[in-house]
Amino acid sequence: MSVIKNIGAIAKGMSITFGEMLQPTTVENYPDGPGPLKGAQFQERFRGTHVLQRDENGLEKCVACFLCAAACPSNCIYIEAAENTAEQRISGAERYAKVYNIDYNRCIFCGYCVEACPTDAITHGHGFESATFNASALVYRKEQMLSPTPAHMGSNSVFNHADVEAGAPALPQAGS
């Protein structure tokens, strides 16, 4: 009797397996899917690699206050501050981050830095393909994290409004 019982149990189990095989696929077809995301999908609030934001004038929002570094539980943010001058204005306030590194070897994507930032300069982007064979490539520099200059502005967003308005092409900035 137990043999029949066992066969019955297997048949019941397999029926679920075969039933599922006939359903449409719900897994993401990453990395073979379509589009720039190669099939990956995630929620808006997904915390990916960071983006350093610019203000409406194209100036960097970060004022090098080190609060993100202080909040970071894995101590992976390194900043060097410097002073803006009239000739070279990088951020909207008196100081800016001359060097801003995040070490993704250590970052746990907790978002504390984003919480801490008083100027909403650092945000989580949706970048996630950070795997590499070289650990030093995981130390991202500011240039890699800065958001691009708004398209309506030139390479030097504050001072060449006039150029852009006169028809000069708005240069794209590296990184994103």
Partner 1 sequence: MADLTLTVDGKKLTAPAGTLLIEACKSVGIEVPSFCYYPNLSLQGACRMCLVKIEKMPKLQTACTTVISEGMVVATDSDEVRQARKSMVELLLGNHPLDCPVCDAGGECELQDMAFSYGAAESKFMEAKNHKDEQQWSPVVYFDRPRCILCYRCVRVCGEGMDVWALGVQNRGVSSVIAPNKQDHLECEECGMCIDICPVGALTSGAYRYKTRPWEMNHIGTTCTHCADGCKTTLGVRRSDTGMEIVRGDNRDKSGINNDFLCIKGRYAFDFAHSTERLTQPLIRKDGKLSPATWEEAFALAGKNFAEIRTAHGGEAIGVVGSSRTTNEENYLLSKFARMVLGTNNVDHHRTADFPALAAALRGKSGQTASMRDVLSAPAILLIGNNPTEQHPLLAWQIRSNVRLRRAKLYVVNSQPIKLRRQAAGFAQIPAGAEAHAVAFLAGDDAALDHLVHQSATRESLLALRDKLRAETGLVVAFSSEIRGADVARLVHSKFAGAKFIALADYANSRGAADMGLYPDLLPGYEPLTTDSRFAQEWGTLPTVPGLTVPAMAAAAKAGTLKALYVVGANPVARFGLDPFAFSGSFVVVQDMFLTETALMADIVLPAANAYEKSGTFTNTCGDLQLVKKAGEVAGVKSDFEMIVRIADAMGFEVRKLVPFGGGTHADMGQSRGAQSGEADRHSVWLEAHGLEPRMSPFDPVAIFDEIQRLVPSYHVSRLDLLAGNDQHTDIGEAGPGAAHDPNLIIPANDDLFSSGTLGRYSHTLNSVMENKNAPAPSEVGAD
Contacting positions for ligand SF4 (CB under 6 A): 62-68, 71-74, 76-77, 79, 97, 102, 107-113, 116-117, 119, 121-122
Q: How many CB atoms lie within 10 A of CB 125?
A: 16
HSE toward the beta carbon, residue 141, CA cutoff 13 A:
7
105 binds, among partner 1, ligand SF4, none (CB under 5 to 8 A by kind): none
139 binds, among partner 1, ligand SF4, none (CB under 5 to 8 A by kind): none
CB nearer to ligand SF4: give 77 or 164. 77
The rounded distance, in Å, linking the Cα atoms of 104 and 72 is 12
User: Which listed residue (13, 83, 165, 168) binds partner 1 by CB under 8 A?
Assistant: 83
Q: Whose CA is closest to 75, among 52, 123, 116, 107?
A: 107
The token duo for 26 is 């719900």
Which stretch, 34-42, 91-99, 150-158, 165-173, contacts partner 1 (CB under 8 A)? 91-99
Residue 76 C-beta: closest distance to ligand SF4, Å: 5
- Residue 102 as a binder of partner 1 (CB under 8 A): the answer is no
Instruction: Report the site for partner 1 in 52-81 (rule: CB under 8 A).
Output: 63-67, 69-70, 81
Here the contacts of 153-157 (C-beta below 8 Å, separation 24 or greater) are 153/57, 153/58, 157/54, 157/57, 157/58, 157/59
User: In this structure, are residues 142 and 101 in contact, taking their beta carbons and an 8 Å threshold?
Assistant: yes
User: Which listed residue (37, 40, 82, 139) binds partner 1 by CB under 8 A?
Assistant: 82
User: In this structure, are residues 155 and 171 in contact, taking their beta carbons and an 8 Å threshold?
Assistant: yes
Residues that bind partner 1 in the complex, under the rule CB under 8 A: 63-67, 69-70, 81-83, 93-95, 118-119
